[in-house]
């Protein structure tokens, strides 16, 4: 079973650079995604899949429930983006593109996460259900952190650091609260980051097609 999951993740991750190269220059960001930009999400997701058969949680083996902060902290990067917008700090993309990329990224992340949860049926450390792999909370948090990074990395690296710090804290709390193993949160982080990158890569193609459709004369 683990081998099948590794192959599925590998095929999904291997498709990301292909989409990035196909899309070319991004309309909202006017930048390319080189192959090296997919190393981090591929390593995280692949590492999580590799650890799937080894349910490790050290040093949180007997912590029990620590805090409910992870239920709210996963939305921290999204909240920071809204706060920056309200403060007048302009992102690298216009509001319409930013909303579109945010929605598409979360749809991609949610779809991939749900497919693996239903396929793998990994038991949570607390035994509450069989939806442990990958971590949905972590995937949401890292999707938000990567969206924040793409939108505001041109302003200050500390904005990106803040987003990834909240996402990382979410992942650690999920393990400490006996909801996930390290394999689950590693895979969730990789899926979250990769979902944003692939969305930014293919979004220009989607936008161009929509623009062409609108320009076509109606009969």
pLDDT of residue 24: 37
- Residue 28 confidence (pLDDT): 47
Task: Report the pLDDT value the prediction gives residue 11, as an integer from 0 to 100.
Answer: 53
d(CA 143, CA 97): 16
Q: Name the token pair of 23.
A: 């899309």
Check whether the bond before 134 is cis (ω within 30° of 0): yes
- Residue 5 is predicted with a pLDDT of 56
pLDDT the model gives residue 12: 53
pLDDT at residue 25, as a whole number: 40
Query: How big is the chain by its Cα radius of gyration, in Å?
Result: 18
Average pLDDT per 10 consecutive residues for the chain, totaling 219 residues: 54 52 42 71 90 89 87 97 94 89 96 94 93 97 97 95 98 96 96 93 82 64
Torsion of CA 153, 159, 165, 167, to 10 degrees: -70
Give the residue from 200, 188, 195, 197 showing the smallest Cα distance to 74.
188
What does each C-alpha distance from 85 to 88, 95, 170 come to in angstroms? 5, 9, 23
pLDDT confidence of residue 216: 65
pLDDT of residue 30: 42
């Amino acid at each position: 079973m683990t081998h099948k999951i590794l192959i599925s993740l590998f095929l999904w991750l291997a498709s990301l650079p292909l989409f990035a190269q196909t899309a070319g220059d991004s309309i909202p960001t006017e930048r390319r995604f080189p192959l090296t930009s997919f190393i981090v999400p591929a390593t995280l997701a692949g590492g999580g899949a590799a650890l799937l058969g080894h349910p490790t949680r050290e040093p949180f083996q007997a912590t029990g429930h620590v805090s409910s902060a992870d239920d709210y902290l996963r939305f921290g990067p999204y909240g920071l983006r809204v706060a920056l917008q309200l403060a007048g700090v302009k992102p690298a993309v216009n509001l319409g593109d930013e909303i579109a990329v945010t929605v598409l990224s979360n749809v991609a992340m949610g779809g991939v996460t749900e497919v693996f949860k239903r396929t793998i049926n990994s038991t949570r450390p607390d035994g509450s259900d069989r939806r442990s792999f990958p971590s949905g909370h972590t995937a949401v948090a890292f999707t938000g952190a990567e969206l924040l990074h793409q939108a505001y990395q041109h302003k200050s690296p500390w904005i990106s650091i803040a987003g990834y710090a909240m996402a990382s804290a979410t992942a650690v709390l999920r393990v400490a609260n006996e909801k996930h193993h390290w394999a689950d949160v590693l895979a969730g982080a990789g899926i979250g980051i990769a979902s944003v990158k692939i969305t930014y890569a293919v979004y220009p193609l989607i936008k161009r097609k929509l623009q062409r459709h609108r320009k076509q004369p109606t009969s």
